[in-house]
Amino acid sequence: MIAHPSLNGMASGTGTSGSTAWNNSVRSRLYFTSAKKLDDDDEADIRELKVMKSNYGPAGEIVRLRWQRGVFVPEGGPGMFERVAAEAAVDQAYLDCLDATQGSGRHVGPYPGKAYAPAIFEKMAQAKRYRAKALAAAQERLFNAGRIKVQKVGPPSKALDRIFRKGLL
């Protein structure tokens, strides 16, 4: 759905127009505007695509675009889409390692120590050479997304926190 912002929506930078019912009915909303000039910008072909609302991702992300040969091309380093794809690859490697350890009857934990999952996974082929730091970040994303969880294993007097895939307990 495409909508044009009102004068008030353009002046305030929110990109809204009149009723908010359409804004509340969509899962995400992007706002495409002329870019604010930076010191090194001398051309008028720069635009900004700003994430104003996102139910499944971060709001506030701004992607700077430059008009080149009939299309808008992202400027600068990796944008949101590249980052999401890279994070998804690390997340999948983490889950593959978790499946492999659990399939062999081993358990890993969420805290630094002998059973720390990212440190153990870093040495596994399923980790695809991702370092422990990247796997630790994946672990946090997976916890936040509810895809993995911690469960106590062992007798109550010696119970240890171990990581499991949600739904595979």
Residue 79: predicted pLDDT:
62
Instruction: Quote the pLDDT of residue 7.
Output: 78
Buried b (16+ CB within 10 A) or exposed e, 25-57: eeeebebeeebeeeeeeeeeebbebbbbeeeee
Q: Going residue by residue through the chain (169 aa), what tens digit of pLDDT does each one get? A: 667 777 777 777 777 776 666 666 778 888 888 877 665 555 678 888 888 888 877 777 888 888 888 898 887 656 667 788 889 999 999 999 999 999 999 999 999 999 999 999 999 999 999 999 999 999 999 999 999 999 999 999 999 999 999 865 5
